Structure 1
Amino acid sequence: MLRQTDKQQKYAFWSNFFTTQTAVLSLCFLSTMILAILVAPIYEYLRGIDPNRVDLFNRFLGPSRVNFLGTDELGRDLMLRLLNGGKVSLSIGLIASVISSLIGTAMGLTAGYFGGKVDTIIMRFADIIISLPLLPLLIVLTAIDLNKLGVSRTYIEMPLFSSFKIIIIIAIVGWPSIARLVRASTLAVRENDYIQVALSQAFSPLRIMFRHILPNVTSPIIVATTLTIGNIILFESVLSFLGLGIQPPTASWGNMLTGAQDLIYEDPKLAIWPGFLIFLTVIAFNFLGDALQRALRTKSIQIIA
Structure 2
Amino acid sequence: MTLPASEVVAHEATPVGEVEPEGAKVAGRSPTQLAIARFRKDKLSMVALGICAFYIISAILAPILDKFGVLTPNDFHQDLLNISLGGIPEGAMGGASWSHPLGVVPGTGNDLLSRLMLGITWSLGIALTGTIFTLVLGAIFGIVSGFSGGWVDAIIGRLIDLTLSFPQTLMLLALYGAALIFLTENLHIGNRDLASAVFVIGILSAFGWPPVARVVRGQVLSLREREYVEAARLFGASRFRIYFKEILPNLWAPLLVYFTLLLPAYVSAEAAFSFLGVGVKPPTPTLGNILADSVSYSTADPSFFFFPGFLIAIIVISFNLLGDGLRDALDPKSGR
Cross-structure match for 1:55: 77
Q: Report the CA distance between 1:11 and its aligned residue.
A: 2.9
User: Does the alignment pair 1:66 with 2:88?
Assistant: no
CA shift in 2, pair 1:150/1:181, >3 Å: closer
CA shift in 2, pair 1:148/1:11, >3 Å: closer
Aligned length: 300
Stretches of structure 2 that go unaligned for 5 or more consecutive residues are 9-27, 82-88
Indicate which of 67, 70, 75 corresponds to 2:109. Answer: 75
CA shift in 2, pair 1:54/1:174, >3 Å: same
Indicate which of 267, 285, 298 corresponds to 2:332. Answer: 298
Determine if contact 1:156/1:162 at 8 Å carries over to the other structure: no
CA shift in 2, pair 1:41/1:193, >3 Å: closer
**SS of aligned partner of 1:7:** coil
Greater relative contact order, per chain length (Cα 8 Å cut-off, separation 6+): 1
CA shift in 2, pair 1:77/1:3, >3 Å: farther
Determine if contact 1:182/1:217 at 8 Å carries over to the other structure: yes
Alignment partners' CA distance in 1, 2:242 and 2:154: 21
Cross-structure match for 1:108: 142
Q: Report the CA distance between 1:150 and its aligned residue.
A: 8.0
* Residues 194-237 of structure 1, C-alpha deviations (whole Å, 9 max, x = no match): 21121122211101111111111221111112111111111110
Question: Whose Rg is larger?
Answer: 2
Determine if contact 1:88/1:251 at 8 Å carries over to the other structure: yes
Deviates more, 1:235-244 or 1:143-152: 143-152
* Residues 145-195 of structure 1, C-alpha deviations (whole Å, 9 max, x = no match): 236658519636533111111111111111111111111111110011221
Determine if contact 1:253/1:274 at 8 Å carries over to the other structure: yes
Cross-structure match for 1:17: 39
**SS of aligned partner of 1:217:** helix
Cross-structure match for 2:209: 175
| Aligned AA (2:315) | T
Across the aligned residues of Structure 1 and Structure 2, the Cα RMSD in angstroms comes to 2.4
Deviates more, 1:238-247 or 1:19-28: 19-28
Q: Sequence identity of aligned pairs in percent? A: 32
Alignment partners' CA distance in 2, 1:4 and 1:57: 71
Structure in which a larger fraction of residues adopt helix: 1
Cross-structure match for 1:132: 166
- Map residues 114-153 of structure 1 onto 2, 5 A cutoff: 114-141=148-175, 143-146=176-179, 151-152=184-185
Alignment partners' CA distance in 2, 1:299 and 1:284: 23
TM-score by length of 1: 0.90
- Map residues 1-305 of structure 1 onto 2, 5 A cutoff: 4=7, 7-44=29-66, 49-59=71-81, 60=89, 61-73=94-106, 74-141=108-175, 143-146=176-179, 151-152=184-185, 155=189, 157-298=191-332
